[in-house]
């Protein structure tokens, strides 16, 4: 059965995500009803005239912290508006567990994803702690890499693109997913490989020829060559690529 995935992005800059999510395969997935993506303005859940979402940090220090009150009201309201039994709450933070292809695979099977995009110094820790006590939520603090962005919106876009393309029906030929980097199994030990080098026409370009094996028509030899290339590329570039 094809699952329908509902995605809510919560941000103080909804315009940051609206256009990118309407493009290409993700946009088409929205139009065809395989996914439904909503950009929610966190400030719509404030209760003061200034639509305040942040305050100074307890304990001192530079910058502002996003308040748990407004985040709690937003997440409660957004989760109550869906019939999903479980809400996957993804709190974006550079201090979270690293996003990976296997996490994308797992999340692509969800019913409801909520992306909480932080700004300033981030979101009050009690938001994570509170929703971890609620059985209808699965909470993950996730980082897309070991660097610091100004906000979680770009991170949410990265994750949504990686997740939605794995939703059954979004990519026409599912075989193209099986052979990609981070998806190719090297052996039985859960190791994953980077994709082998790829080529198209013309067969000669600026003195460089396509490897002869690829024009041989021998599919068995091509498969072996690609596997060897994937293994040597992974050993060279990512000697420790394991998920
Ligand atoms: N004070 C935080 C720290 O040192 O861990 C950094 C806050 S950052 C300037 C503001 C927001 O950007 C974060 O709350 C998070 O939502 C987002 N962000 C920044 N880098 C990120 C990353 N690598 N992965 C996911 N989200 C990130």
Pocket test for ligand 1, best of 97, 99, 118 (most atoms within 8 A of CB): 118
Q: How far is the CA of 149 from the centre of ligand 1 (A)?
A: 6
Q: Are the C-beta atoms of 26 and 161 separated by less than 8 Å? A: yes
Residue 5: φ, ψ to 5°: -105, 125
Q: What distance in Å separates the CA atoms of residue 23 and residue 148, rounded to the nearest whole number?
A: 26
190 pLDDT more than 50: no
Percent of the chain surpassing pLDDT 70: 94
Q: Could you identify the atom of ligand 1 that is nearest to the CA of residue 146?
A: 23
| Predicted confidence band of residue 62 (pLDDT cuts 50, 70, 90) | very high
37 versus 241: the higher-pLDDT residue is 37
Percentages (nearest 5) of helix, strand, coil residues in the chain: 35, 20, 40
Residue 105, pLDDT score: 96
Pocket test for ligand 1, best of 12, 65, 71, 93 (most atoms within 8 A of CB): 93
Residue 242, pLDDT score: 45
Q: How far is the CA of 141 from the centre of ligand 1 (A)?
A: 11
Q: What distance in Å separates the CA atoms of residue 37 and residue 211, rounded to the nearest whole number?
A: 43
The b/e string for 117-153 (b: 16+ C-beta within 10 A; e otherwise) is bbbbebbbeebbebbeeeeebbbbbbbbeeeebebbb
Q: What distance in Å separates the CA atoms of residue 116 and residue 14, rounded to the nearest whole number?
A: 12
Query: If you average pLDDT over every residue of the chain, what do you get?
Result: 94
pLDDT tens by residue, 159-171 = 999 999 999 999 9
Residue 176, pLDDT score: 79
The alpha-helical segments, DSSP class H, found in 134-218 are 153-164, 175-178
| Predicted confidence band of residue 243 (pLDDT cuts 50, 70, 90) | very low
Residue 187, pLDDT score: 52
Residue 192, pLDDT score: 86
Q: How far is the CA of 93 from the centre of ligand 1 (A)?
A: 4
Residue 3, pLDDT score: 60
| Predicted confidence band of residue 180 (pLDDT cuts 50, 70, 90) | confident
Mean per-residue pLDDT, 85-104: 98
Q: Which DSSP state fits 45?
A: G
Q: What distance in Å separates the CA atoms of residue 109 and residue 106, rounded to the nearest whole number?
A: 6
Q: What is the dihedral of CA 117, 122, 124, 125, to 10 degrees?
A: 90
Residue 172, pLDDT score: 82
Q: What distance in Å separates the CA atoms of residue 52 and residue 41, rounded to the nearest whole number?
A: 12
58 versus 2: the higher-pLDDT residue is 58
83 versus 186: the higher-pLDDT residue is 83
pLDDT tens by residue, 3-18 = 689 999 999 999 999 9
199 pLDDT more than 60: yes
Residue 67, pLDDT score: 98
Contact residues of ligand 1, CB 6 A cut-off: 92-95, 117-119, 121-123, 143-145, 147-152, 155
């Amino acid at each position: 059965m094809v699952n329908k995935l509902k995605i809510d992005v919560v941000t103080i800059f909804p315009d940051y995500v609206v256009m990118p999510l309407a493009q290409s395969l993700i946009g088409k997935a929205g139009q065809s009803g395989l996914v439904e993506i909503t950009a929610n303005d966190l400030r719509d859940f404030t209760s003061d005239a200034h639509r305040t979402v942040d305050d100074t940090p307890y304990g001192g220090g530079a910058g502002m912290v996003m308040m748990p009150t407004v985040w709690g009201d937003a997440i409660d309201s957004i989760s109550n508006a869906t019939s999903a039994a479980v809400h996957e709450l993804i709190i974006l933070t550079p201090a979270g567990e690293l996003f990976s292809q296997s996490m994308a695979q797992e999340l692509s099977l969800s019913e409801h994803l909520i992306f909480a995009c932080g700004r300033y110094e981030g979101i009050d820790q009690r938001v994570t702690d509170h929703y971890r006590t609620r059985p209808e939520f699965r909470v993950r603090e996730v980082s897309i890499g070991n660097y610091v962005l100004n906000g979680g919106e770009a991170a949410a876009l990265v994750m949504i693109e990686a997740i939605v393309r794995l939703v059954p029906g979004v990519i026409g030929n599912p075989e193209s997913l099986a052979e990609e980097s981070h998806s190719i199994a090297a052996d039985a030990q859960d190791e994953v490989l980077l994709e082998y080098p790829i080529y198209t026409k013309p067969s000669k370009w600026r003195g460089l020829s396509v490897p002869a094996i690829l024009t041989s028509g021998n599919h068995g030899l091509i498969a072996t060559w690609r596997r060897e290339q994937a293994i040597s590329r992974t050993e060279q570039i990512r000697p420790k690529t394991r998920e």
